[in-house]
């Protein structure tokens, strides 16, 4: 494969023990367990490896896709051309900087799991991130998608981010530089490698109680442990969220191939075992058309769809 050969020839400058996979099935790296092969797949563990991979890909004009844990991601059946970089092994210790007795900044790499960051905040008596209980994926993905709930979102607690630009430069952006909207960071072109969050001091037991309440609610109302990519659609409005509209339309348990609309929460499409991306997309289109016809609401996709 020309793309693979080109990158591998340029790859010698990186650490010898750094693994680069060819034709890697992306279903192994998405929570919905769907996706064709990536030409090349890398899981860098350090910032230096991350930056070098990006520089090489840009220099050789190799298409580049960066993912986190694949929790909000649907990969098409023919896979992804070029290089896919997963941040899931790019982690660092979480650092705390105390601003004053009531306020601290916690900082970590993009590959740190959001759940790990939440637990760290609890153990250090810091509040403000309890809304993220049960939200899967990495910190970098959560920032890029402005992950959240009706109670709050990442944009409310973000302090700063560091990114790698297309030219391999590292730049820092403070909160005032960032423009967030519903499930999106709008104005930054680059790959997030580090994020910091501003949290308040609080009582550990109260923080833990709020966190567990949010987590239990998510488990009770969503197909928490099943194969999905999370909510398929953005909520068009708070009074009538997408799941409610889909439920009202009688589409719970609607099925195409091995793809099925969740009975527990209608804004989730599940992979029963052997679903293809095409099954998910056809079911998604069926939902969109019916909601538009019944309620004159045009649903907007929340999940990220990549590949061909």
Cα torsion angle, 198, 161, 21, 14, sign = negative
Angle between helices 47-59 and 2-10 (to 10 degrees): 130
Retrieve residue 144's tokens.
């890029």
Q: How many CB atoms lie within 10 A of CB 121?
A: 26
Q: Which of 183, 194, 277, 288 is catalytic?
A: 183
Q: Which of 24, 118, 231, 277 is catalytic?
A: 231
Active site residue 231: yes
Active site residue 183: yes
Residue 141 exposure: Cα atoms within 13 Å on the Cβ side: 27
Report phi then psi at 135, rounded to 5.
Answer: -75, 120
Instruction: Note whether 39 and 45 are within 8 A (CB).
Output: no
Distance CA 240, CA 145 (A): 21
From the centroid of its chain, how far is CA 182?
A: 14
Q: Which of 188, 279, 194 has its CA nearest to residue 232?
A: 279
Report phi then psi at 216, rounded to 5.
Answer: -65, -35
Retrieve residue 159's tokens.
């302090």
User: What are the start-end ranges of the H helices in the chain?
Assistant: 2-10, 47-59, 114-123, 139-144, 154-157, 204-221, 242-248, 277-295
Distance CA 223, CA 44 (A): 31
Instruction: Note whether 158 and 232 are within 8 A (CB).
Output: no
Residues recognised as catalytic: 183, 231, 302
């Amino acid at each position: 494969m020309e793309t693979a050969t080109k990158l591998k020839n340029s790859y010698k400058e990186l650490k010898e023990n750094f693994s680069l996979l060819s034709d890697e099935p992306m279903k192994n790296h998405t929570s919905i367990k769907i996706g064709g092969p990536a030409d090349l797949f890398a899981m860098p563990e350090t910032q230096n490896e991350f930056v070098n991979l990006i520089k090489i890909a840009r220099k050789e004009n190799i298409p580049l896709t960066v993912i986190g844990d694949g929790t909000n991601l649907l990969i098409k059946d023919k896979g992804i051309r070029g290089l896919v970089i997963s941040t899931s092994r790019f982690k660092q210790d979480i650092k705390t900087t105390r601003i004053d007795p009531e306020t601290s900044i916690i900082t970590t790499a993009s590959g740190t799991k959001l759940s790990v960051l939440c637990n760290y905040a609890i153990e250090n008596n810091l509040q403000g991130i309890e809304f993220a209980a049960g939200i899967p994926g990495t910190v970098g993905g959560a920032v890029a998608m402005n992950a959240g709930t009706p109670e709050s979102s990442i944009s409310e607690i973000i302090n700063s981010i560091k990114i790698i630009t297309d030219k391999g430069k590292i730049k820092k952006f403070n909160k005032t530089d960032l423009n967030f909207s519903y499930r999106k960071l709008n104005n930054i072109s680059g790959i997030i490698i580090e994020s910091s969050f501003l949290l308040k001091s609080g009582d550990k037991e109260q923080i833990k109680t709020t966190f567990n309440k949010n987590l239990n609610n998510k488990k009770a109302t969503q197909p928490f442990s099943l194969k999905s990519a999370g909510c398929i659609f953005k909520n068009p409005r708070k009074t009538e969220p997408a799941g409610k509209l889909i439920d009202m339309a009688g589409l719970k348990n609607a099925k195409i191939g091995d793809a099925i609309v969740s009975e527990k929460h209608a804004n989730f499409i599940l992979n029963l075992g052997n679903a293809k991306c095409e099954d998910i997309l056809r079911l998604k289109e069926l939902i969109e058309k019916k909601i538009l016809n019944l309620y004159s609401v045009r649903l907007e996709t929340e999940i990220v769809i990549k590949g061909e």
